[in-house]
Chains A and B, each alone.
Chain A
Amino acid sequence: MTSQLETPPVPSSVDEDADLSPMQQRRLGALRRMWAPMHDAKGMPKVIVWVGIGITLAFVLMAIFATQIAPYAFDQYQTADGVRFVKQQAPSAQHLFGTNVMSTDVLSRVIFGSRTAIEVVLLSLFVSMAIGLPLGLISGYHGGKLDRTLVLFMDAMLAFPSLLFAIVIAFLLSKTFGHGVVTAALAISIVYVPQYFRVVRNHVISIREESYVEAARALGARPWTIMRRYVLQNVIQNVPIIATLNAADAILTLAALGFLGYGIQPTEAAEWGYDIQRAISDAGAGIWWTGLFPGLAIVLLVTGLTLVGEGLNDVLNPVIRKRPIQEVELPPREGTAPVQDEVAAP
């Protein structure tokens, strides 16, 4: 993850911002500078980002308006009059995605599942960043023994398979917090803290050695000011990319926990991974709708998030960013070849 070096102020839009205070002008300029590559980017990378944003937004909306959109409740197994739904019924008019082995409506569970996924991911992102970012900042900036110990510790945690880690923690946390959204989110957060820590720390270290930081230190700026002004700003640019990619991974981990039975209990909320686990035995009988739809939901949401992260990376990462290339038409020669005579003398 390379840092986007600060570009000098672009004077083009100076007049428009004249009525803002200098501080506001600077902030606006900074924001514009950060996102300028997004506007410059043409073609594929831009399309990718917007497609990804579209997909993700669709799921977020589905999550927010789940109760309004879903035809039934996520654990509803009978109609309002008490007539039980048919078990494992193929897709039909009343159940667009069919029903599963618990006689619940697959479509509703998919919709409510998006709510669960978004809730867990948001919570875990927040917690891991709240812990990982400051730790990385401090560790990277101060260095020394604290840094070395933390790095060794985080590396050890990173080396270990994250799912196994999450399983153990989910298991332990379930004693206190039960089997709901909170446990799953906390388990996932703990797994991702080392990643945020490491990325931020490496970033801080590379920026720490930049000459403008050295200059600031020479001027007597306090460490916190330096961190906030220079380091944080550069690091923040990379956070959206890491966050979206981590969110994608978190959803997979959540589904994996659900699949193994350590995630969210079916009575608490609908969860896609859990549904797929129940559907595995259906595969032998040729029942495809119980597993296909939750699985597609996972694939779509994770793909959407990954496209956003990858697209942003393509656009913001200066190393492999491809400048748009135009074909050039050379006008014909004017035919003024100089007379070839004694130009040179040995």
Chain B
Amino acid sequence: MKRSGSLRSYVITRVLLAFPMLLILLTVVFLLMRVAPGDPITAALGGRVSAEELARRRHDAGYDRPLPIQYLEYLRGVATLNLGTTILDNRPMTQVIAQNGAATLELSFFAMIVAMVSGVGIGLIAGRYRDTAADLGGRLFGIVLYAAPVFFLGFLAQLTFGKWLDWLPTSGQTSPIVGATLATHTNLLVIDTIIDRNWTAFQDVVRHLIMPSVVLGLVIGGVFIRLVRVNLLQTMKGDYVEAARARGVKEGRVVYKHAFKNALVPVITIMGLEFAVLLSGAVLTEETFNWPGIGSELVRYLDNRDYIAVQGIIVVTGIVVVIVSLAIDILNAWVDPRIRY
């Protein structure tokens, strides 16, 4: 018999546990970046600038100091959110994250909504009507969505809705004219256009958002279908479901209130795990649709051997992942009273 721990103590414990994980991630990134022979500056600019310039920039970036010192400086930089400046185009990393990170955030957010609606919706139907056409259809749909790479779906979408039907734009976050005249505040364009009441721009932004977020959302949602269905099958067999029926509770309520709700509890955890997949998918989606997000920036900087930028992006990604999984865990505890410490 446990007294239900308070949500607060659970939150505190989880937050404390997040730090070691974060540290491990940061250390791994640090080591990986230094495995490459030579240092980033030389790799990027060697042979393109004079030797003195090279030495100066190496010194500025701190690459001539012994490894342990570099590690400490690196950690300090992360803690103070000073991740340096890109070698390629001299942008401060904070700007890269603010602008491109926001674009990825917008894309991910709407994709997640699509994923939840489609995935959870179809999964519940498939589980409820087990072994009927709806179930098999739903499951097959889920498998095919998972099996189709997001860039293939993107290709098909661009072909059908872009070229052949000409309903939606296939590239970029906005059309060039709108992009040039847009005023940004939060860098989240949907919000910014609403703030400015710029309805033509709003429409343009939304139209550009549809294809990438639906494509990405469906791919993620495909995984949910399978998981939600299995969870529902298990909860429908639950003892408390039988007991509720024995009390004469209506079948609809038994299924929706008891079975569905309990089936969805682990789905929240899964959403948390899928978040990492979402980020991977975002990289591919951004490349497919020319979306100026942090994923496409990663690719661009990596192609140009700009390791400072790459390191910065990966560090930020790692931090975001840890924070999001923390948030998901807390959300989980809030929903399921059994989990609190």
A156-193 Cβ-contact flags toward B at 8 Å (1 or 0): 11011111100111011001000000000000000000
A156-B25 contact in complex given A163-B283, A256-B280, A319-B234, C-beta closer than 8 Å? yes
Q: Report yes or no: A280 in contact with B155, Cβ–Cβ below 8 A.
A: yes
The answer to whether the Cβ of A298 comes within 8 Å of any Cβ in the partner chain is yes
B residues 163-199 in Cβ contact with A at 8 Å = 163-164, 170
Question: Roughly how many angstroms separate A288 CA and B162 CA in the complex, as a whole number?
Answer: 12
Question: Roughly how many angstroms separate A299 CA and B148 CA in the complex, as a whole number?
Answer: 5
Q: Report yes or no: B170 in contact with A164, Cβ–Cβ below 8 A.
A: no
A residues 246-271 in Cβ contact with B at 8 Å = 248, 252, 255-256, 259-262
B270-303 Cβ-contact flags toward A at 8 Å (1 or 0): 0000001101110110011000000000110011
The answer to whether the Cβ of A83 comes within 8 Å of any Cβ in the partner chain is no
B residues 2-34 in Cβ contact with A at 8 Å = 20-21, 24-25, 28, 32
Q: Report yes or no: B322 in contact with A159, Cβ–Cβ below 8 A.
A: yes
Interface centre among B35, B152, B310, B318 (most CB of A within 10 A): B152
Q: Report yes or no: B155 in contact with A295, Cβ–Cβ below 8 A.
A: yes
The answer to whether the Cβ of B334 comes within 8 Å of any Cβ in the partner chain is no
The answer to whether the Cβ of A140 comes within 8 Å of any Cβ in the partner chain is no
Interface residue total, chain B, C-beta cutoff 8 A = 53
Q: Pick the interface stretch among A9-17, A217-225, A302-310.
A: A302-310
Interface residue total, chain A, C-beta cutoff 8 A = 51
Interface centre among A160, A261, A276, A319 (most CB of B within 10 A): A160
Q: Output the least CB separation between A124 and chain B (Å).
A: 17
A35 contacts across to B, CB distance below 8 A: none
Which residue of chain A lies nearest to B24 when distances are taken between CB atoms in the complex? A156
Question: Roughly how many angstroms separate A156 CA and B27 CA in the complex, as a whole number?
Answer: 11
Q: Report yes or no: A172 in contact with B36, Cβ–Cβ below 8 A.
A: yes
Q: Report yes or no: B151 in contact with A153, Cβ–Cβ below 8 A.
A: no
B298 contacts across to A, CB distance below 8 A: 164, 167
Q: Which 10 A-B pairs have the closest CB atoms?
A: A163-B280, A295-B152, A302-B147, A156-B24, A161-B280, A161-B279, A303-B147, A283-B158, A161-B276, A291-B155
13 contacts between A and B (CB under 8 A): A156-B28, A159-B321, A164-B298, A164-B317, A252-B147, A261-B299, A273-B149, A292-B155, A298-B147, A303-B143, A303-B144, A307-B143, A322-B130
Chain A positions within 8 Å of B, measured between CB atoms, are: 44, 152-153, 155-157, 159-164, 167-169, 171-172, 175, 248, 252, 255-256, 259-262, 273, 276-277, 279-280, 283-286, 288, 291-292, 295, 298-303, 306-307, 310, 319-320, 322
Chain B positions within 8 Å of A, measured between CB atoms, are: 20-21, 24-25, 28, 32, 35-37, 130-131, 136, 143-144, 146-149, 151-152, 154-156, 158-159, 162-164, 170, 226, 230, 233-234, 276-277, 279-281, 283-284, 287-288, 298-299, 302-303, 310, 314, 317-318, 321-322, 325
